[in-house]
């Protein structure tokens, strides 16, 4: 009887130990990116081109419309991660630190406890990128704002790339790049060289990180204003289709397969996937403490975030063009879940 009791005890202890180890491998960590479409306050800033977003403009952008915009964005951000809130949240098209402070203080997302990384960029429209993070789960160690300077036109000003190196779970390091590349305004062919330049610059930086640590956790995200199979991303950033057996020091585009399957994050004449999440091989393999999978990228797309035109499919309900519509954004958020392995 004692022999059976001892055997049962050993089995129970083994189960308990296994369960404890399992809990360590399933600690949740997540990332989202959202182009929030012109989150401007109502105050005219003579240093930037924000004249459309003031009370006496054609849009009559007043406090009520600004608050409605915050309400809409917070409503979307609150439902992105079903497990709570994304640990880190990249944003683009924010005017300044004040709109970010108003956003993170909104009642719908205030309990996320987001802190902010942001710096005004030289962009003529005054729109910037930013990173929100939960300080209990992500600890920034180094922050840089990388400024693209185009050799063909050094005076052409655009958004910075926000780089954040931080600790996840207080142990594992991740390199995060938040982007908003030059738009296609003026034509895709005419503007493509600028996006190619930024892609090449970003590839040089990631290569330097790989040279220092071949198993580096790298996450690149943002509104790239190109699709995953366009030259800037496929040929110059060299972000490729995820595979079961990933190669070392390689960037994998988690947006490529959904795009090829007809999905997208914004709609013009068809669905485009400008909002992308790209990861290093270490994040797919879990080689360096954090792991995601090739099918993890989700496009957050709820019916209430869309509007149905007379022709064509439902598409993101935007805030404004020449007229005010009062929607959410002309982009949809993208999201990935990850696991902390130790």
**Chain centroid to CA 262:** 20
Per the DSSP assignment, residues forming a β-bridge with 162 are 145, 178
Rounded Cα–Cα distance for residues 29 and 138 (Å): 9
**In total, how many domains does the chain have?**
1
**CATH number of 181's domain:** 3.60.10.10
Flag whether 18 is in a domain. Answer: no
pLDDT at 246: 86
Rounded distance between C-alpha atoms, residue 208 and residue 136, angstroms: 29
Question: What span, in angstroms and rounded, lies between the C-alpha atoms of 4 and 20?
Answer: 24
**1 in a structural domain:** no
And the tokens for 236?
A: 């110059």
| DSSP strand pairing (88-94 vs 27-39) | parallel
Domain membership of residue 239 (yes or no) is yes
In a domain, 314, yes or no: yes
| Predicted confidence pLDDT, tens digits, the chain (342 residues) | 444 434 443 433 343 433 434 444 458 899 999 999 999 999 999 999 899 999 999 999 999 999 999 999 999 999 999 989 999 999 999 999 999 999 999 999 999 999 999 999 999 899 999 999 999 999 999 999 999 999 988 998 999 999 999 999 777 999 999 999 999 988 888 899 999 999 999 999 999 999 999 999 999 999 999 999 999 999 999 999 998 788 999 999 999 999 999 999 999 999 999 999 999 999 999 988 899 988 879 999 999 999 999 999 999 999 999 999 999 999 999 999 999 986
Kindly state whether residue 9 falls inside one of the protein's structural domains. Answer: no
Spatial distance between the Cα atoms of 268 and 245, rounded to a whole number of angstroms: 35
Backbone dihedral region of 291: left (phi > 0), alpha (psi from -120 to 50 degrees) or beta? beta
Q: Which residue range forms the structural domain that includes residue 54? A: 28-340
3-state DSSP helix/strand/coil percent for the chain, to nearest 5?
25, 25, 45
Is 150 a domain residue?
A: yes
Residues 176, 166 contacting (CB under 8 angstroms): yes
270 dihedral zone (left: phi>0; alpha: psi -120 to 50; beta): beta
284's CB contacts (< 8 A; 6+ apart) are 242, 246, 252, 291, 292, 293, 294
CB 287 within 8 A of CB 277: no
DSSP state letters, 7-24: HHHHHHHHHHHHHHHHHH
Q: How far apart are CA 53 and CA 60, in angstroms?
A: 7
In a domain, 19, yes or no: no
Model-level pTM?
A: 0.92
| Nearby residues of 188 by Cβ (< 8 Å), 6 or more positions away | none
pLDDT value for 256: 97
Return the DSSP state at 320: B
The pLDDT of residue 296: 79
Give a yes or no: residue 2 inside a domain.
no
**b/e code 186-197 from CB counts within 10 Å (16+ = b):** eeeeebbbbbbb
Query: How far apart, in whole angstroms, are the C-alpha atoms of residue 130 and residue 277?
Result: 16
């Amino acid at each position: 009887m004692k022999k059976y009791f001892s055997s049962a005890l050993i089995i129970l202890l083994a189960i308990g130990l296994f369960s404890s180890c399992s809990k360590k491998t399933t600690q949740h960590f997540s990332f989202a990116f959202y182009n929030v479409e012109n989150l401007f306050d109502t105050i005219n800033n003579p240093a930037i081109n924000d004249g459309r977003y003031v009370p006496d403009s054609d849009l009559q952008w007043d406090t009520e419309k600004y608050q409605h915009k915050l309400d809409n964005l917070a409503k979307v951000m609150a439902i992105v991660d079903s497990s709570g809130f994304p640990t880190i949240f990249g944003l683009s098209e924010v005017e300044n630190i004040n709109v970010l402070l108003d956003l993170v203080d909104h009642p719908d997302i205030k309990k996320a406890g987001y802190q902010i990384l942001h710096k005004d960029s030289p962009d003529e429209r005054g729109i910037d990128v930013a990173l929100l993070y939960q300080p209990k789960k992500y600890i920034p160690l180094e922050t840089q704002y990388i400024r693209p300077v185009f050799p063909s036109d050094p005076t052409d000003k655009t958004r910075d790339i926000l780089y954040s190196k931080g600790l996840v779970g207080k142990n594992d390091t991740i390199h995060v790049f938040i982007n908003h590349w030059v738009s296609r305004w003026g034509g895709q062919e005419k503007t493509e060289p600028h996006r190619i330049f930024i892609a090449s610059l970003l590839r040089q930086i990631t290569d330097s990180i790989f040279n220092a640590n071949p198993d580096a956790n790298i996450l690149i995200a943002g509104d790239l204003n190109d699709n995953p199979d366009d030259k800037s991303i496929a040929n110059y950033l060299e972000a490729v289709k995820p595979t079961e057996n990933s190669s070392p020091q390689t960037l994998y585009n988690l947006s490529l397969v959904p795009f090829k399957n007809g999905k997208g994050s914004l709609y013009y004449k068809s669905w485009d996937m400008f909002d992308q999440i790209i990861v290093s091989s270490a994040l797919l393999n879990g080689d360096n403490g954090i792991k995601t999978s090739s099918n993890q990228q989700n496009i957050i797309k709820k019916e209430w975030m869309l509007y149905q035109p007379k022709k064509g499919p439902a598409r993101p309900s935007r805030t404004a063009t020449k007229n005010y519509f009062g929607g959410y954004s002309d982009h949809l958020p993208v999201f990935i879940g990850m696991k902390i392995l130790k």
